Chain A
């Protein structure tokens, strides 16, 4: 009798333990924070591929917390100096040719950033958007000693989200493997895929990512991290509109 109770109890514990292990909200939040840290400095290259041309540019970026970010182009010469500042929900762009900061209106947030397949929204993605979705774990599979979770995010009825659903594939070490946007007929429209995963700046992360427009096959943008440092010292003035313009 006693033995049976123990078995029953251990079964209950096992079940709750399993559920706690896959707390989807926590999983997604951590995955978003994975490439951010308290602060970070990164060097990247971006390749924009189009059917008839291709462009490679270099960027450097700083982030602090979940709110602040600054990205600056360093090459090619034509684009060098173009920068983007994010402060919470607000964004500004800076163009050295006109020597002006331009505050991005919300209407532009879904537009393409610097001619790439990333929208400003993709860049400003933070854990805040989680409250607009119902998250469910739809699939778990093992691969190369990792658990890989597929999570479906379905926006609530009045959520400010145009997609029918978003599907995330996240590894158990919080590396985002893929993120697919579906329209409301559940046809996939856009997909971000991690092509290379490695250790950089002491963290496991996707070092090469590709954003694909699924409706236009020969068109994508790749972002490759050359270098990233986490928890670096950053001055407060770094994330100001003034710093954006003064190009430090």
Chain B
């Protein structure tokens, strides 16, 4: 019986001050909308960072020879069987690619730059950024293609263009230098000039020919489900017992740190927005308790236990919070729908690139973030009601009725 009574009292109390409580709902709703839509943006940034890191030639899991990362060159390569397939079930894998990636010097008539030359099988590179960037001129045709694909920014720096020849110097399998003239087949326009300046691409077999080696320096695997990486990593460690198997978090420690940091940012953001709000809520609840001192004294005199008074205030606060949160989450979802296609940060592109963030920020909606916001808000609602409730409990029936 008593809980139903408490419920009714709470509802009535809320309805008694419609204007005041509407303002409170609005405040909570705005804060929750802000928090939840901000969460989608933070998640978007986080996943964008991961995708950038993964597409930047890394993949979710990568296999190197031990020592390659300290001293990347073809001598730190490894051989793959002709018909090699990674031991990951095909349905769990977006794709895989074997590559040679080694430092090189690239020269035009007027400039010299240090780059990474990447020997690729163009048909396998859908898993990395080079698979879907716009290309001026042509792309590489096959693994035997002896031409070179360079970044647009690099072409500008070298003062060269599609169809011209450039010279590449790198180190062969015997440690001696190899020099070769390459004709530029095309220039690619990657997201961010950092990539354009860093990577040049040519056919894998053709590069192996130049280096006098049959080896590759890396196998990169892109999974369908990122969280499954640990399982497959374990599998691959067993398969490539003599090689180093790493996932992207180990390969891109900075991106990984930012990725983990983004998880905390969600809480920090929540704390900032909601704590300001909480004081507003406490204030309102205290006011409403002080207004009702007479009534509270009366119900106490009629025999309502202290516990019930306390619960009543808490329930009142929780209801206010719950209504606000529901409106807020709906608002957050609506905001998400309006920005679903992404926000163009083109104006700040350069700074963003430095942090490895894509220049179009596409928000990501995760329901567990919404649920988290909801629960934390309700918890906060209860906590916020404790002090007003304590004030309500402290009311002495006799004193209250004499007022």
In chain A between 138 and 184, which residues have their CB closer than 8 angstroms to a CB of chain B? 155-164, 181, 183-184
The total of Cβ contacts below 8 Å across the A-B interface reads: 51
Question: Is A39 close to B, CB under 8 A?
Answer: no
Question: Is B129 close to A, CB under 8 A?
Answer: no
| Contacts known (A106-B177, A161-B181); A183 close to B169, Cβ less than 8 A | no
Task: Give the shortest distance, in Å, between A24 (CB) and chain B (any CB).
Answer: 21
A189 in contact with B179 (CB, 8 Å): no
A111 in contact with B167 (CB, 8 Å): no
How many residues in A have their beta carbons less than 8 Å from beta carbons of B? 20
Further pairs besides A155-B181, A160-B179, A189-B110: 4, Cβ < 8 Å: A107-B105, A110-B112, A160-B167, A162-B109
> B181 touches which one: A89, A106, A107, A158 (CB < 8 A)?
A158
Task: Give the shortest distance, in Å, between B255 (CB) and chain A (any CB).
Answer: 28
> A110 touches which one: B107, B114, B164, B180 (CB < 8 A)?
B107
In chain B between 77 and 110, which residues have their CB closer than 8 angstroms to a CB of chain A? 105, 107-110
**A183 to B183 Cα, complex, angstroms:** 14
| Contacts known (A107-B169, A184-B164); A158 close to B180, Cβ less than 8 A | yes
Task: Give the shortest distance, in Å, between A123 (CB) and chain B (any CB).
Answer: 16
| Contacts known (A157-B183, A160-B180); A189 close to B112, Cβ less than 8 A | no
| Contacts known (A106-B169, A107-B169, A184-B165); A163 close to B181, Cβ less than 8 A | no
Task: Give the shortest distance, in Å, between A217 (CB) and chain B (any CB).
Answer: 16
A160 in contact with B109 (CB, 8 Å): no
Task: Give the shortest distance, in Å, between B394 (CB) and chain A (any CB).
Answer: 80
Please indicate the chain B residues that have their CB under 8 angstroms from the CB of A162 in the complex. 107-109, 165-167, 181
- In the complex, residue of chain A having the shortest beta-carbon distance to the beta carbon of B177: A106
Please indicate the chain A residues that have their CB under 8 angstroms from the CB of B172 in the complex. none
Task: Give the shortest distance, in Å, between B184 (CB) and chain A (any CB).
Answer: 10
22 A-B interface contacts by CB (under 8 A) = A105-B105, A106-B105, A107-B114, A107-B169, A110-B107, A110-B112, A155-B165, A156-B181, A157-B165, A158-B180, A158-B182, A160-B168, A160-B169, A161-B165, A161-B181, A162-B166, A162-B167, A163-B109, A183-B110, A184-B160, A184-B164, A189-B109
A159 in contact with B164 (CB, 8 Å): no
In chain A between 207 and 238, which residues have their CB closer than 8 angstroms to a CB of chain B? none
Question: Is B146 close to A, CB under 8 A?
Answer: yes
